[in-house]
């Protein structure tokens, strides 16, 4: 599972990973669990910023922040992300979705956010729900900024499920399909 985690993240974010060396987002020299724990507030801040800002005039800044968060996610010894691609993977297969790589990345970040916030009792259901909610948040920002042409049927379905308070039931059902 760890190799799948690393391979998936690298595949998604290889183009931005190299800019971590510019180090504008914080220290990346984490060695101990305490180092990773100390970085959590910055990771949370950056994930929330990335959710709300799909497009910035300084694209290097967004890439650097994303790379910083993904480096932490990959290296963190106590965060394990299950990579079954149930929820974000369908987006990556949609050739018509211009912004799906941005949206799919937010699934992993949202899941990470949930795992940080619930570190005493990690909950895969809650983590997946938070991942989808992160995708919905950034999707809404993309629609605000890019208009109707950026709409996507998969994301519209997730948005509808959340609006109807059916997202949790949907995620439970999908997780049982393993």
Decide if pLDDT at 29 tops 90.
no
The rounded distance, in Å, linking the Cα atoms of 52 and 4 is 28
Decide if pLDDT at 20 tops 50.
no
pLDDT at position 177 is 84
pTM, to two decimals: 0.83
Helical H segments across the chain, by residue range? 2-17, 33-52, 59-75, 89-92, 100-117, 124-146, 153-163, 167-176
Decide if pLDDT at 40 tops 80.
yes
% pLDDT > 90, the chain = 56
Contact present, 10 and 83 (Cβ < 8 Å): no
Q: What is the mean pLDDT of residues 67-79?
A: 93
pLDDT at position 141 is 93
Decide if pLDDT at 4 tops 60.
no
Contact present, 1 and 80 (Cβ < 8 Å): yes
Name which of 30, 17, 34, 133 is nearest 72 in CA terms.
30
Confidence class of residue 115 from pLDDT cuts 50, 70 and 90? very high
What residue ranges do the domains of the chain occupy?
2-176
């Amino acid at each position: 599972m760890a190799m799948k985690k690393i391979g998936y993240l690298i595949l998604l974010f290889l183009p931005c990973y190299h800019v971590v060396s510019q180090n504008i987002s914080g220290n990346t020299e984490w060695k101990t669990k305490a180092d990773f724990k100390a970085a959590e507030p910055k990771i949370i801040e950056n994930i929330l910023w990335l959710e709300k800002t799909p497009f910035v005039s300084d694209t290097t800044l967004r890439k650097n922040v994303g790379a910083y968060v993904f480096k932490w996610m990959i290296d963190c010894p106590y965060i394990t992300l299950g990579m079954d691609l149930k929820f974000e993977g369908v987006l990556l297969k949609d050739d018509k979705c211009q912004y799906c790589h941005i949206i799919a990345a937010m699934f992993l970040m949202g899941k990470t956010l949930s795992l940080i916030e619930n570190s005493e009792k990690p909950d895969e259901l809650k983590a997946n729900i938070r991942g989808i909610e992160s995708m919905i948040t950034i999707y809404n920002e993309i629609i605000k900024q890019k208009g109707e042409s950026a709409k996507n049927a998969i994301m519209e379905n997730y948005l509808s499920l959340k609006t109807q308070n059916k997202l949790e039931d949907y995620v439970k059902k999908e997780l049982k399909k393993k």
